[in-house]
Structure 1
Amino acid sequence: MVVSIRLPESNSTYSRKRRYSTRFSRKLLVVAVTLLFVLLFWLLGGDATDDDDEPTAWDLGEVKSGLTSLVIVTCHAVWLGGKAAGEDESEWAINDFQKGETRTFIKHIEAGVSIALQNPETLLVFSGGETKASTGPRSEGSSYFNLAAARDLIPADLLARTTTEESAMDSYQNVLFSISRFHEVTGTYPKTITVISHEFKRERFQRLHREAIQFPEEAFTFVGIDPDWADETNTNKASILEHEESTRAAWGVDLYACVEDDELREKRRGRNPMRRYNAYSISCPELVGLFRWCGLDEGTGITTRLYPGKLPWLD
């Protein structure tokens, strides 16, 4: 005998609805669990943005503590290297008006090293960017340091507190960016500054640039070393001094070199053939306002109004 069992027909519409409801419930459960974990992670302090430590985009080494004084060697050319260690002018990438001056550049290096050796709390900075297309991505600052090393001028105890600043495109940036570099290395700002450059640029540095950043006059020292004007190889004294007078006048009415299409702004652009950017606005947040300040007086078209914000060396 054959027994036949007939199963009841399923309701296909009901089955589809039940499967859809089950899938939706599972998705909802996954979302709920995920939100729960995120909430717990945040409550337990896992959110990096709420950490007491300032988030950084990269890992940095330990700061060099105990340094209070900044010595800046302002760079004017690129040493290309060579057996003569800078004594042969052919080893330098220079402008025509700088012929006969390369020995002076070496004197600037020697003066910076000598001053830095006298005070163990000093950071020595060679400041100068990649200013010449003909030399490619070689900075003035690094070339001066390389020359100092080639001439065996920097002993081990000074080497640990010597660095380069490779973004400056003019004398104002030599000062401001070296201060910024000091902060990157030490985590603080300098209490005293010594600048080494040409003597004929004394007023530009000691008055105009110092006043623009409002660094205390009693804490700012300028050491000027001019070329040997009596040297027969240097016939440019009159034209150099005339050019400096014109440049100083330009800084006098544009303290921050910020007037669009003006002489100083155009020079700065021309000295950045590699289109280099710097990160000082990130590493020195206290100076962001100063970096961006112009102080342009619309009535006169000059920028003699000093930055009105708070500066760390005026605390």
Structure 2
Amino acid sequence: MSQTWGDRIFDWINKSVLFFVMIVVLYPIIFVVSASISDPQFVNNGTMWLWPKGITFEGYQRVLDNVEIWTGYRNTILYTIFGTSLNLMLTIPCAYALSRKDLVGRNGITGIILVTMFINGGLIPTYLVVKGLHLLNTPLVMIILGGVNVWNLIVARTFFQSTVPRELEEAAEVDGCSNLRLFMSVVVPISGPIIAVMALFYGVAHWNQYFNALMYLQNRELFPLQLVLREILIVNEMSSNMMMDGDSMLAMAEQAKVADMIKYAIIIISALPLLVVFPFVQRFFIKGVLIGSLKG
């Protein structure tokens, strides 16, 4: 079909806006990557604004030479894998059950669950519960705590309501399927998109989690990567700020340079795994967001 002048102008405006948005999104990423391998002097005086200058990998070397970084990586990977698996095992069956119209009292159950989304017990009661369950300073507190996210549960429930037809469930029941077999053999195989979306949501949350570790872990061998990187950054900033006497000005300037290099290197090291994984699940992510926002 031939485009009118109005269509061409509309397309041009859309492409221009999208190009501007792409620049706004890409520039901070490129800047941080370039700053992480540039001499901090060029970064601080504004000479380096896009491409790296005075290339050095000292920041990465200092961060990766820290043994705790690798311990944190190991812990975070384990927390993410086992925590996300537990989240999926709790969220997906619960969401499907709430999507069934023949579930007695499902509206009341959904209402009770929604209350927890807006009213939180608070930090102190949560800490007392964790302590009472003997989960303090154990890996399980990073896996079990927050087993179900209410917003994710509602998104998954909406998916099942709009995707799994009641006729398919009735046909399986006529063939003698129990509810468990119906869920495992019929519903799960056609629910790949929502499972991928939930895995992404929960996985990102586990990967970025540091507050629970800060509150409930004391053993450094159990610290996740984010908490280790946070401590490294804080220690370097404090070290550079404490050298205030005249004889230490040169050492303070050098320490400040090291702190800047470490800061940008830490951002890349912590975000790189998610940046690598996200493109492979982007289409599922968009579909899940649309399901949760436009339907149900």
User: Which structure is larger by alpha-carbon Rg, 1 or 2?
Assistant: 1
TM-score by length of 1: 0.23
Structure (1 or 2) with the greater strand fraction: 1
> Greater helix share, 1 or 2?
2
Q: TM-score, normalised by structure 2?
A: 0.24
